[in-house]
Chain A
């Protein structure tokens, strides 16, 4: 497999290889000369600012954005101030740092998003140099000002400017500097001549790298690894010092023998790589330095830039895009010439097998004898991941699959997931997409982020394909992509509301967990209220619709949606909002059309705002309720005058409501109240507030018969009631004389049995007996029994020949004492039954 190793170069123990990723699709006249270039890590986009140094106002520099494969994404003339630095954020936004410290943020497609300032101090003393860096906290900006001070913002999404301490004795601009993230803090490492300083929030500390002789010549370049763990320094004598960034350990020192200052320098190492190595770039020359004295030299035809990555360095020139990396262990094992590693043997075995040669068995046997077959499969799978060419990937995977056949319980997950990953990676590496991710980078960045990036590039169909292929859960996958698509779709001005609403609903129809209200919010934000309302119609949860409808000032709709949701809290929210938003009349009108909201608001008013309640009834001309309202209010009133006044209002309302009954009843009450007060004043009896019945009882019990009679007449109290009342009141008082008089006054409308019963209730048998004779024949038996006169009862019952009455009497006789009576009754009963 000579061709695989053709581009390998040895450096010490390891090999390095340079792979061409793309031939650039752009057509740049002067290559990258005189351009300010920024390329985002993880195969991100490239931004170019051409001819930025020409300051004539007539010719504005052009800002262009390309994909990694050089396909144009955006291009526009730069109209703002002088740009010092371009850079990309972690979420693929472009940052343009201007001379005055203003930072402008653009999206991938050149759309302006926002701008922020790096502070007064920066704008006054101007930006000298700036660096954009990534840390666990997000994207940061570091600025060296004209006064040689550093200003730092660790996260541009949450800007907290920090001005770092001064460096003592610093004369001119430092020769080189870099930002480090250490101990959860961002620090700046500054080189000035042969001195090195670390600046943190509080102090400026001079430091010396271990093994770095003090008489060493001055440092011309500093470079920090992607992970911030390693540091490389280049001196003007051409020496490269490499060590850990905490300056505790030296890894190596190599003489490049080139004394001119380099254009760029970058670390080129991977996690678990065999040796530390850095790439230094001069005009037309690229040098890889590692641990050993030798270096690898590459010739560069063209002006290029280096883009450090997690596991490699990308080299972008005017025509090509290449990847330089240390050959991964697995690949080295397999492809190294004359390698006897299990993977290499397995690959060979498979090759022979394809040729139908028996040598395949020999190779296999050799691996199996060392029982390294599973190791061989693993190696092939891993190596496939690191290979860029699909053909090579396939060869390796086939070999792995071949080897797997001879293993009984080899877990398939690694193989399967690698196949899937590679399919996705090859798709995004495609020229038209232009995201040249390595497998290591892909694993680091996760599928979620990759999908985000695809969405961000508006590659919705690809994103959905990826989600479906990787079986990402719908909420995080397809639905999310569709939502983004819809949010983008609703901003397309050229299409009509109907068309957009329809296409959105068709596409999103069966996706789970789509929030239409979010899409509608987007539509509203881009000024399409009608479209927003249309989209909200698709939202199945009416509760979700309400906040946006309120924001859009569609309050009637919001109110009816809130009611539809059945969530009274939501209804309250809208009602309270409307109460503050509308004038009272409109507010009431709106409530009037929504009974549910109205009753809720009434409940609220009952406790909070009594007066509003009245206004509400007034508005509706609900005189009945107003009448009730006044009646209720009258109880709370202590003063009689006020009470009567309120009742009068109630009477008026009842009449308006054509409720004569209530009006009359209320008028009666007013009359009663006046009467009660008059009596109270005259007789000193507390009467106010009693019902008519109770007032009469009260009067009778204190002997004010005349007044009771008066009420009886004035209020047309039914005779029966009055008789009952008086009977009970007199009995209560035990005024038997008066009772007898009363009984004789005229014929009782309630009969005389009640007289008997009431007397008995008050344990006066003597009085009770007086009335027994007056009782009607039908009630005689009961009356006799009530006074305990069994014989009388028997007499009456026999006379009436009523079987059930006779039985009743019988049940009250005791067989021993009333022997004769019982016999008589039994006989009577028999005859009664015969009839």
Chain B
């Protein structure tokens, strides 16, 4: 049952090179400020930085003390302060205030801000407005991509989602383009681009511009195809509970930058342990893509195997024993340690997940996806809210309900919102405003009112703007069309059929056989058709914005079936879930190709919704 790689699977490029590049640049930047210095790091950069350059390396380059940026008064005696931050206005403002207070106190220090992955004009404007532009030097650390695993690359920009889709702030688009450009310049060109979504298109344009400006390097392509997809094309998938092992671990323990902290309940000791979760972990590598129900069986089998391996010791002579201790024991011990950790984690998850609540939650979710017994689902959600089971889960179910049903009936919309406010407070008025704007939670609108409105407005203004306005309207009233899409693409398998989760039939296994992730299905279909032909109706329901372009290197010799031709780069703009990655891995195995996922960040339902809360400061 353990999924083994196909023998003919193509080799993946070596992404550790990206880390090395980033490290070298960082060291170069640190040396630009010679002498001892204190380094202030944005909290969310800590983990990514740790993967690039650890404390020892930083100390080697005269970093004296390390601080987390907390937007508070600082206690540092150093004469040189270096800030390693994301280009955010509030952080820059904080630094400006710090500089100004030093100035007022007559204290002289040198300040250097290193923006990563790039600096924004707005940040410089703030420095200027606060009158400290001349007092600080700024630099860029072009750390665009953090390789999380052999096949997962992350931009580590969780704010991409909110900024781009909610606030309409497109400044990260160029970052996406630069990341692609970086990959291209290190690993070779792309032969074909597919994409769907407004942001995807812009990222593609941004990449193209960069490529046209820079020198052309014709390298053998490492990635044949690139697929760009906006998160708002498919909101259903990230809103579903994850049941594949890696996704489940993320949902429950939250994987941060490829590592997870298992608490005392998992480690069965009194301290927490941080574990890196990637393909280096042999135990994890074999279960990460498995449906959770299979994991226990697998782990116990594994434990038995391990025992047999240990048992080999018996009846060994001295020589053999020596070899055993030298070669195998260490590996076995390591495996043993990991195995016990994962067993602990599974137990802990089992405890949570076999509870009645969770079973009901799953049942509700599946009913919603199928569009079956919706009334009961609403009652369930209501009870869920009333009992204050979980703020995020309730919100998640509400959104799922709205998307699958193309919006809520007026009556339900009001009453559910009112109940939610009673449970969790009025500040969620803002949350609801955000969800509505994104089309995640809205009132049902009859199609007629919309077309009437459109044609009215269309008459008022000339054609060109009318087009834009229609765009605006369609985004205002984003119809998810989930039901129709699901039918068209056969996302929900017929109910009643038994689904053997041990032998996955299709990508639906990542959701217990109840649903094939829309995003992954789109990728499968487009790759199969080598474009969007035949999917016109689907793209229309997804608001269009699809494209397929033959890429930069039009070299015909690249046409031959090299390994590279079977590597597909999938870029998720706004985040992707582990379930999607598992589904793509499955698809890759079926089709004899490999997928590399590059995402602005790893997301799940909780992260997605938390990004949309307007929590008070």
Chain A residues proximal to chain B, CB less than 8 Å: 541, 566-570, 572-573, 576, 595-596, 598-600, 602-604, 607-608, 624, 628, 631-632, 635-636, 661-662, 665-666, 668-669, 690-694, 715, 717-718, 720-721, 724-725, 728, 750
Partner of A720, one of B121, B174, B386, B429: B386
Contacts of B388 in A (CB 8 A): 693
**Which 8 residue pairs of A and B lie closest in terms of their CB atoms, listed nearest first?**
A599-B168, A635-B616, A691-B425, A568-B171, A721-B386, A569-B121, A607-B89, A669-B426
A433–B170 Cα distance when bound, in Å, is: 55
Q: Is there contact, CB below 8 Å, between A661 and B205?
A: no
Among A596, A628, A632, A721, the residue within 8 A (CB) of B422 is: A721
Given the complex, which residues of A lie within 8 Å of B129, measured CB to CB?
Answer: 608
Tell yes or no: B427 within 8 A of A by CB: yes
- Residues A600 and B171 in contact in the complex (CB < 8 Å), given A576-B125, A608-B126, A662-B429: yes
CB atoms of A624 and B433 under 8 A apart: yes
Segment 391-441 of B: residues with Cβ below 8 Å from A? 414, 417-419, 421-427, 429-430, 433
Docked CA distance A669–B169 (Å): 32
Whether the pair B169, A603 counts as a contact (CB closer than 8 A) is yes
| A715, B120: Cα distance in complex, Å | 48
State the interface size on chain B (CB cutoff 8 A): 44
* Chain B residue contacts of A624, Cβ below 8 A: 433
Q: How far is the CB of A695 from chain B (nearest CB, A)?
A: 10
B555 at the interface (CB under 8 A from A): no
Q: Which of the residues B163, B174, B418 comes within 8 Å of A603, measured between beta carbons?
A: B163
Asked if B90 is an interface residue, CB under 8 A from chain A, the answer is yes
Q: Kindly identify which residue among A567, A635, A693 contacts B424, using a CB–CB cutoff of 8 Å.
A: A693
CB pair A693–B429 under 8 Å, yes or no, is no
Give the shortest distance, in Å, between A39 (CB) and chain B (any CB). 44
* Docked pose: A690 CA to B426 CA in angstroms: 9
Q: Inside 8 A of B414's CB, which chain A residues have their CB?
A: 661
A596 near B386 (CB under 8 angstroms)?
no
Shortest Cβ gap from B247 to chain A (Å): 28
Q: Which residues of A contact B125 (CB under 8 A)?
A: 572, 576, 604
The reply to whether B430 and A599 contact each other, CB–CB distance below 8 Å, is no
Would you call B426 and A631 a contact (CB within 8 A)?
Answer: yes
Given A604-B89, A665-B418, answer yes or no on A569-B120 (Cβ-Cβ < 8 Å). Answer: yes
B427 touches A631 (CB 8 A): yes
16 A-B contact pairs sorted by A residue (CB < 8 Å): A541-B209, A568-B174, A569-B120, A569-B121, A576-B125, A599-B168, A599-B169, A603-B163, A604-B122, A607-B89, A632-B614, A635-B617, A636-B617, A691-B424, A693-B422, A728-B387
B233 lies within 8 A of chain A by Cβ = no
Q: Is the CB of A665 within 8 A of B169?
A: no
Q: Measured between alpha carbons, how far is A595 from B472 in the docked complex, in Å?
A: 10
Known contacts A604-B89, A608-B93, A718-B419; is-contact A566 B424 (Cβ 8 Å): no
Task: Report chain A residues within 8 Å CB of B209.
Answer: 541, 566
Q: Shortest CB–CB separation between residue A114 and chain B, in angstroms?
A: 32
State whether A661 and B417 are in contact (beta carbons under 8 Å apart), knowing that A600-B171, A691-B425 are contacts in the complex. yes
B383 contacts chain A at the CB level, 8 A cutoff: yes
1/0 contact string of B186-222 vs chain A (CB within 8 Å):
0000000000000000100110010000000000000
Chain B, residues 459-492, CB within 8 Å of chain A (1/0): the string is 0000000000000100000000000000000000
Is B206 a contact of A599 with CB atoms below 8 Å?
A: no
Q: Does B173 reach chain A (CB closer than 8 Å)?
A: yes
Which residues of A lie under 8 Å from residue B122 when comparing CB positions? 569, 572, 600, 603-604
A693 CA / B174 CA spacing, docked (Å): 45
For A721, what are the chain B residues with a Cβ–Cβ distance below 8 Å? Answer: 386, 419, 422-423
- A568 vs B121: C-alpha distance in the bound complex, in angstroms? 8
Collect the chain B residues with CB atoms within 8 Å of residue A718's CB: 386, 419
Contact of A572 with B120 in the complex, beta carbons under 8 Å: yes
Verify B174–A566 contact, CB threshold 8 A. yes
Contact A566 B205 (CB under 8 A): yes
Majority DSSP secondary structure for residues of A touching B: helix
Residue B281 at the chain A interface, CB threshold 8 Å: no
| Distance (whole angstroms) from the CB of B250 to the closest CB of chain A | 28
B residues in contact (CB < 8 Å) with A = 89-90, 93, 120-122, 125-126, 129, 163, 167-171, 173-174, 202, 205-206, 209, 382-383, 386-388, 414, 417-419, 421-427, 429-430, 433, 472, 614, 616-617
Partner of B430 from the list A541, A566, A631, A717 (CB cut-off 8 Å) is: A631
Q: In the complex, A717→B419 CA distance in Å? A: 8
B430 close to A628 (CB less than 8 A): yes
Q: Are B429 and A628 within 8 A (Cβ)?
A: yes
Closest to A567 in B: B174
Closest to A691 in B: B425
Tell me the complex Cα distance, A724–B427, Å: 23
Instruction: Point out the residue from B173, B472, B614 that lies within 8 Å of A568, measured CB to CB.
Output: B173
| Chain B residues whose CB sits within 8 angstroms of the CB of A598 once the complex forms | 168
Whole-angstrom distance between the alpha carbons of A169 and B208 in the complex? 74
CA distance A631 to B121 in the complex (A): 30
Interface pair A666/B429, CB less than 8 Å apart: yes
| Contact call A596/B168, Cβ cutoff below 8 A | yes
In angstroms, how far is the closest chain B Cβ from the Cβ of A516? 15
Residues of A within 8 A of B89 (CB): 603-604, 607-608
Interface centre among B89, B90, B421 (most CB of A within 10 A): B421
Name A692's closest neighbour in chain B (CB-CB): B422
How far is it, in angstroms, between the C-alpha of A570 and the C-alpha of B206 when the chains are bound?
14
CA distance A631 to B429 in the complex (A): 8
* Complex: A506 Cα to B248 Cα, angstroms: 62
CB closest residue in chain B, given A711: B422
Q: Distance in Å from the Cβ of A547 to the closest Cβ of chain B?
A: 13
Chain A residue contacts of B168, Cβ below 8 A: 595-596, 598-599
Bound complex: CA A690 to CA B425 (Å): 7
With A and B bound together, what is the CA distance between A665 and B433 in angstroms? 13
A717 touches B167 (CB 8 A): no
Closest Cβ–Cβ distance, residue B200 to chain A (whole Å) = 13
Given contacts A693-B422, A725-B386, 5 further A-B contacts (CB under 8 A): A566-B205, A632-B614, A661-B414, A715-B422, A718-B419
Q: Name the residue of chain A whose CB is nearest to the CB of B413.
A: A661
A602 contact set on B, CB distance < 8 A: 167
Task: Assess the A717–B171 pair: CB atoms within 8 A.
Answer: no
CA distance A569 to B123 in the complex (A): 10
A531 to chain B, nearest CB (A): 25
Residues of chain A contacted by B167 (CB below 8 angstroms): 599, 602-603
Bound together, the chains give a CA A715 to CA B167 distance in angstroms of: 34
Residue of A nearest to B386 (CB): A721
Cβ–Cβ < 8 Å partners of B121 in chain A: 568-570, 572-573, 576
In the bound assembly, the distance between CA atoms of A632 and B89 in angstroms comes to 19
Chain B residues with CB under 8 Å of A724's CB are: 383, 386-387
Pair B170/A566 contact, Cβ less than 8 Å: yes
Q: How far is the CB of A593 from chain B (nearest CB, A)?
A: 9
Residues of chain B contacted by A566 (CB below 8 angstroms): 170, 173-174, 202, 205-206, 209
The residue on B at minimum CB distance from A600 is B169
Taking CB atoms, residues of chain A closer than 8 Å to B120 are 568-569, 572
CA distance A576 to B388 in the complex (A): 46
In angstroms, Cα B420 to Cα A692, docked, is 10
* Complexed CA–CA distance, A573 and B417 (Å): 41
Complex Cα gap A669–B424 (Å): 12
Query: Smallest distance from the beta carbon of A341 to chain B beta carbons, Å?
Result: 49
Q: For A661, list chain B residues within 8 Å (CB).
A: 414, 417-418
B85 to chain A, nearest CB (A): 14
A691 and B421 form a contact (CB under 8 A): yes
B184 to chain A, nearest CB (A): 18
Q: How far is the CB of B600 from chain A (nearest CB, A)?
A: 16
Given the interface pairs A541-B209, A600-B171, A665-B429, the reply to whether A607 lies near B93 with Cβ below 8 Å is yes
Bound Cα distance A572, B419 (Å): 42
- Please, which residue of chain A has its CB at the minimum distance from the CB of B421? A665
* Cross-interface CB contact of A636 among B170, B425, B616, cutoff 8 Å: B616
Kindly report which residue of chain A lies nearest to residue B129, judged by CB atoms.
A608
- Write out the residue numbers on chain B whose beta carbons fall within 8 Å of the beta carbon of A636: 616-617
Chain A contacts of B382 at CB under 8 A?
720
Which of B125, B202, B417 has most chain A Cβ within 10 Å?
Answer: B125
Task: Give the CA-CA distance A281 to B412 in the complex, in Å.
Answer: 109
